[in-house]
Structure 1
Amino acid sequence: MPSPVSADRPAAQPPGRGSVEALISQTRRLKVEVDAVRRDTPDDGMDPEDRWQRALYDLAVRQLDDVDAHLAQLRDGPEPVPPEPSEPADAPAPRPAPTACGSLLSRVGSAEWNLLSDEASWSGELYRILGLDPASPALTLDELPTLVVDEDRPLLTGMVTDCLVDARPIDGEFRVVRPDASVRTVHMMGEPVLDADGSTASMWAVVRDVSELRRRRRTVRETGDSLHRHRRRARTEHRIALELQEAVLPPWRGPLRLPHQGPGTLELAAHYLPSATSALIGGDWYDALALSDGETLLSVGDLTGHGVTVTSGMATLLGAVRGMAMAGTEPGPLLALLNQLLDSTVHPALGSAVCCRYRPATRTLVWAQAGHPAPLLYRCGTGRALNAPDGVLLGATSGAVYGQAEVTLEPGDLLLLHTDGLVPDRTGTDAGERLLGLAPRFAGARTAQDCVRAVVEEFGGAERADDACVLVARVTD
């Protein structure tokens, strides 16, 4: 072990036993507190951020274990090297005593090499770190590199040379190959010990097995990298979904009149409200399309889920709705075909929708629904929900049949279509009732866009937990 005189300072005197006991007590209290926080950390194996946090807590607890055992070794002193065995010469060599996998005492050893006598003195822990028999002679500094992997030998040789020639402290890591072919990473710290005339007499070192520590740090780094990749992927998916949504949904920024002019024409306005609790884009849509026969298609819908896959599915459904409507398909049969399309996709999903076909010549609205809130009709300062025909969720069952309903509108009537997430469920009040409560404000509105603005002001707050769409159509005089 170290001589009382080192290269640049006298050897420090060991701290008193009472002060070390106090440090041990503080370390153990801190370890209990950190371990309690670790147990409360989610560990479902799915979320990269949870895995990263869990790995950091595991590393902190392991390091506190090491500090605890370091202090215990400082208090109790090093473990002596076992004595030479007394068995006959032909008896098998004794095996090193097994140690607990997590014990620091099996991972920290010490050594001193006497340069004058070319003798080496190792602690029992160092033998166990290197996987050697404690009964065998300690390796000299010239023999020590034979245990080191080829790539790391120059590092060890350079550290030892600098220590012996230039009196530089040793502080570095290298890998050793044990007799059982396992590879361990060790950290060596040491100093030269000078004699009375200033010549280097010996070198001492403390060797620590840091393989588990490096493995845990690598785990922390890898989980951190995984978390960064997960976040980059989420940002990329959000951007793609947003661009896809903007490419599909009509970019209405104000009242919109369809190309067909005259009595019964619809004035339209719509708005998409993103979720306040999710960074991912949902599958909600709104749409209005002037058909070749002079009629108008109105639709809103919602495909369950969030992300690029759902937004892509929404775009597919909306394209199918437009194509079938242009071909003259009525709302009921159109939803039946849409259900068949959703049922046959590679990634099954559920969706809801309302599809309306407005005939301006007679101011007639023909509509159907698939598990969706019915349109709301506002007239003369009051509102009501239209009586809904039969219709199940899209994708819920094969071969579903969807009924149709018909209602005649009057000049000044206002029709509101919306998706489920528009009205937050805070008090248990029915969403339709809360929307119908806006009838007086709609009666005083001058444009459809004013009505949409009133809806957004009322329900566009941060507490909304889902995406939503609202579409307002007002019958002109």
Structure 2
Amino acid sequence: MAGLRRANREYRREEAAPSGVTLPTPDVRLTGPEGEPDLGELLGALPLPAALADPLVGPDGTVRDFVAVAVNPAGLRYLHQRSALRRDRTPGRRLPAGDVFPGLVTAELLTDLTRVLRTGEPTPGIEVRWQVRRAGGRVERHTDLLTVHRLGSRLLMVWGTSDLARMARAAQRIARVGWGEWSLLDGVTQSSGGLRDLLGLAAGDPSPTAADLLDRVLPVHQPRLFDALRLLLETRDPVDVELLLRVHRGVHRIRLVAEAVGEDQGPVRGVRGVLQNITELSESRRRVRHQQEEIERQSRRADAEEAVVRRLQDALQPRISARMDEAGLRTAVAYRPTEGLVGGDWYKVRALPGGPALIAVGDARGHGLDAVALMSTLRHALAGIAYTGASVEEMTGWLNEIACDDGPESTATAVIARYFPPSRLLRWVCAGHLPPVLLGDGPPRLLAPAIGLPLGVLPGTGYEAVETVLQPGQTVLLYTDGLVERRDRDIDDRLATLLAVLGEHPPGLPPQSLVDQVVDAMSGPFSEDDATLLALRLAG
């Protein structure tokens, strides 16, 4: 206050005896009436930055500028914080407003100030921008809200930072929220700009009353709102309720969180609430729930399909005939399905009456019911044509025709073999399949195949057989690609790994133990395809 009084005294002395500073003098002196209150004292009582300004009127009667005559202490502090006021320009002297507030006074602002002076109607808040250059050339920008009132022949300018208010309004808009407080005593309503935006109100529309909000609630949700308000008034506990409201762009889903206003032990004087437009959030949740339900339906369907396929596959997988011992062969098989995927692996081992034994391993393309159906077709067809006494070349050719007739997607690989006990001869055909492995004296090795096209690729394809004479104690291993193929590994590397794994097992290991251990070692916990390993050991 002392600083303000000094500035006011200097101003009055300057009025009586002008200093050496040359300042423009208005052609028309606009002064207040005699005995007006000490405006300096009133100015100092304002907690917000404020200034008094006189108009500077030209010969034609138009206002050309405004002269700052006094700034309160809050204004001085604010100006110094903004670095917008030089020490040699401290108010207390009649200075043009543009000198006191550099960068603030613009032609547009001058028009607004002139209108207030002419009409006496205060401004609701003019957004003005400061541009302050700091040391080192760094530029800062600040935004203020300037409110202007006419006091007699002068203007009272009150300003304050609007950054927080502007950011709060922006935050409400971004989050689509707004708040309001409704008095139960006198019906007075206070609301934020965000609430007005949320309800689609125009700038000049009055704040929405409690009745206005109630009218916007759809009838189907009005009982829900009544129950929530009754609970709030009776218990004073906050309430949280979702409502459907009519707004300017249709019906939106609004979340209302409200609390009671009043003393702890006194009556409820009002209701304070925050409203949030959750239409998009609710729709997103609905879509997520729908997707989750669809995923669950698909999962149940997949589980049911897998269960059916598993039962079907178990029923279709053959039992190895005990008569294979009569042919001098000990046989064993290990099958590992892929978790969640049932593939088309199949095998056939049968001792035919009075003739050679039938041995086959194959892999139908794909997974699921289609693969199981093709696998079943090929296996049963092979079981029938084996009794014709046809050679393995002919049988493989017939299977190829069956697969071709089944459709372009019905392809498979296979090794088809006949074993002749008297000569210990194994005649086999490779239809796009991986070659067998021979175990015996020396390290495990791959048998050299005469590779033909997979089944179902080209009608009329011919196949060539390979003949291998087995020695007592030797073991032949037939397998599907799921045992060795991996997406990130070369097939030759994986075949080398298979041979290395087989070489680690003792020669006399029982066939069933051998296939089980090899499948476990090669498949791992995350198999990408089902795997089958069939062992044939000639008794020694």
| TM-score normalised over the length of structure 1 | 0.66
Q: Decide whether aligned partners of structure 1 residues 340 and 103 sit closer, same or farther in structure 2, where only a CA change above 3 A counts.
A: farther
In the alignment, the residues of structure 2 paired with residue 217 and residue 371 of structure 1 have an alpha-carbon distance, to the nearest angstrom, of 51
**1:236-255, aligned counterparts within 5 Å?**
236-251=304-319
**1:20-99, aligned counterparts within 5 Å?**
75-76=164-165
Name the counterpart of 2:199: 130
SS at match of 1:128: helix
Q: Decide whether aligned partners of structure 1 residues 307 and 104 sit closer, same or farther in structure 2, where only a CA change above 3 A counts.
A: farther
Gaps of 5+ in 1: 1-72, 81-98
Q: Decide whether aligned partners of structure 1 residues 464 and 219 sit closer, same or farther in structure 2, where only a CA change above 3 A counts.
A: closer
Name the counterpart of 1:435: 499
In the alignment, the residues of structure 2 paired with residue 447 and residue 194 of structure 1 have an alpha-carbon distance, to the nearest angstrom, of 87
Report if aligned partners of 1:257, 1:266 keep a CA contact under 8 Å in 2. no
- Choose the corresponding residue for 1:316, options 377, 380, 383: 377
Residue 402 in structure 1 maps to residue 482 in structure 2: no
Report if aligned partners of 2:172, 2:178 keep a CA contact under 8 Å in 1. no
Letter of the aligned partner of 1:391 in structure 2? G
SS at match of 1:298: strand
Shift of 1:458: 5.6
SS at match of 1:304: strand
- Choose the corresponding residue for 1:173, options 242, 257, 269: 242
Name the counterpart of 1:25: none
**1:215-294, aligned counterparts within 5 Å?**
215-251=283-319, 257-258=322-323, 261=326, 264-275=327-338, 278-294=339-355
- Choose the corresponding residue for 1:393, options 441, 454, 462: 454
Gaps of 5+ in 2: 1-161
Name the counterpart of 2:176: 107
Name the counterpart of 1:144: 213
Shift of 1:460: 5.4
Deviations 1:278-335 (A, max 9, x none): 5423222222023345331100111233334323432332222222223444322322
In the alignment, the residues of structure 2 paired with residue 364 and residue 317 of structure 1 have an alpha-carbon distance, to the nearest angstrom, of 24
Point out the structure with the larger strand share: 2
Residue 475 in structure 1 maps to residue 526 in structure 2: no
Q: Decide whether aligned partners of structure 1 residues 440 and 104 sit closer, same or farther in structure 2, where only a CA change above 3 A counts.
A: closer
Report if aligned partners of 2:324, 2:330 keep a CA contact under 8 Å in 1. no
Report if aligned partners of 2:501, 2:518 keep a CA contact under 8 Å in 1. no
Aligned residues: 376
**1:348-359, aligned counterparts within 5 Å?**
348-359=409-420
In the alignment, the residues of structure 1 paired with residue 479 and residue 255 of structure 2 have an alpha-carbon distance, to the nearest angstrom, of 66
Shift of 1:154: 0.7
SS at match of 1:286: strand
In the alignment, the residues of structure 2 paired with residue 132 and residue 225 of structure 1 have an alpha-carbon distance, to the nearest angstrom, of 39
Name the counterpart of 1:92: none
Name the counterpart of 1:341: 402
- Whichever of the two has the greater Rg, that structure is 2
The farther-off stretch of 363-372 and 404-413 is: 404-413
Letter of the aligned partner of 2:479 in structure 1? H
Identity of aligned residues (%): 31
Report if aligned partners of 1:268, 1:474 keep a CA contact under 8 Å in 2. yes
Report if aligned partners of 2:334, 2:515 keep a CA contact under 8 Å in 1. yes
**1:420-431, aligned counterparts within 5 Å?**
420-423=481-484, 428-429=492-493, 431=495
Residue 368 in structure 1 maps to residue 457 in structure 2: no
In the alignment, the residues of structure 1 paired with residue 264 and residue 466 of structure 2 have an alpha-carbon distance, to the nearest angstrom, of 108
Deviations 1:362-403 (A, max 9, x none): 443332111112333445556654442341122333432222
Higher relative contact order (CA 8 A, sep 6+): 1
- Report the aligned-residue RMSD: 3.8
Letter of the aligned partner of 2:198 in structure 1? I
